[in-house]
Amino acid sequence: MILMNNETNEAKNKYRELKEALNPLWHYFENDFIDEATIQYEKKVSAGLSNLDVALSGGFSPQLHALIGRMGDERNAFLSFMAEHLALNGYKVLYYTSHDTENSILQKILVRHDYKQHRDQSPSISAIISKISSSPQTLQQYQTSLFPILSNIYVETWNYVDTDLLVDMINSYKKTNQKVAVLIDEKSVVLQSA
C-alpha cells in the first residue's frame, strides 16, 4: 500500500509540474477567466436583433463600431432602430444625420411601434398619423408608450459634426446618465474641431 501511495503522489506531482509548466493559460483559466468574461458580457448591450447579437458575441461592447454601406442600403433605418432600442434600454442617444430629419426618424419609430402592436395589419405612415390625429385616446396611448424612447433621443441634422460640441454634449449627458450612445449617419462624414 505504501507503494500505491507513493505512485499516486508521484502522479500528482507530475500533474502539478505539468500544470505549472503550462501555467500562464491554465492560471488565467483557473483564476481570471470567469471574472473577466463576466465583466465583458455585463458591459455588452444587445443590438435587439438576435443574429447580430450572435455575430457580435453577445451584443455591442463599449467601443467604436462603424457601419458602412452604400446609399439605399437603409443605414438610416437601421440606425433609427438602434436609436429606439438603445433609448428603450436607458441610453441617451445623440443621433447626428446630414440627410434625415426629426420627422422622418419619428415616422420610422411610429411605424415600428405600430407594427409591433398590430402585426396582422400593415398600415402606411399616413394611416397611422390619421389614426393618431383622429383619436385623442390613441394619441395618448402612443405618447405614453413612446415617451421613454423619444425623451432619450436627441436628433441633430447638420452638414458636419462639431467634435468639440459633441464631446461637451457627451460629458453633459454623462453627468445625469452613464449610458450614452452616439449615432452618426452621414453621406460623407466631416468632423470639425475648433
Confidence of residue 4 (pLDDT cuts 50, 70, 90): very low
Q: Which residues pair with 95 in a beta bridge?
A: 155, 183
Q: What's the rounded Cα separation, in Å, for the pair 131 and 32?
A: 56
Q: What's the rounded Cα separation, in Å, for the pair 47 and 12?
A: 47
| Predicted local confidence at residue 2, as pLDDT | 41
Give this prediction's pTM.
0.67
More confident site: 66 or 80: 80
pLDDT tops 70 at residue 7? no
| Predicted local confidence at residue 194, as pLDDT | 55
pLDDT in tens, 129-180: 888 888 889 888 888 888 988 889 988 887 777 778 888 888 887 788 778 8
| Predicted local confidence at residue 40, as pLDDT | 55
pLDDT in tens, 99-138: 788 888 888 888 888 888 877 776 777 888 888 888 889 8
User: Angle of helix 75-88 relative to helix 136-150, nearest 10 degrees?
Assistant: 90
User: CA-CA distances (angstroms) from residue 83 to 30, 61, 64, 89, 113?
Assistant: 39, 16, 15, 10, 13
What cell does 113 get?
A: 411601434
Q: What's the rounded Cα separation, in Å, for the pair 105 and 77?
A: 8
pLDDT tops 50 at residue 90? yes
User: Angle of helix 125-134 relative to helix 102-117, nearest 10 degrees?
Assistant: 80
| Predicted local confidence at residue 77, as pLDDT | 81
Q: What's the rounded Cα separation, in Å, for the pair 79 and 94?
A: 11
pLDDT in tens, 12-43: 777 666 666 555 665 556 666 666 656 555 67
User: Where are the alpha helices (H) located in the chain, listed in sequence order?
Assistant: 2-21, 23-31, 33-43, 50-55, 75-88, 102-117, 125-134, 136-150, 163-176
Q: What's the rounded Cα separation, in Å, for the pair 189 and 107?
A: 24
Other CB atoms within 10 Å distance of the CB of residue 132: 17
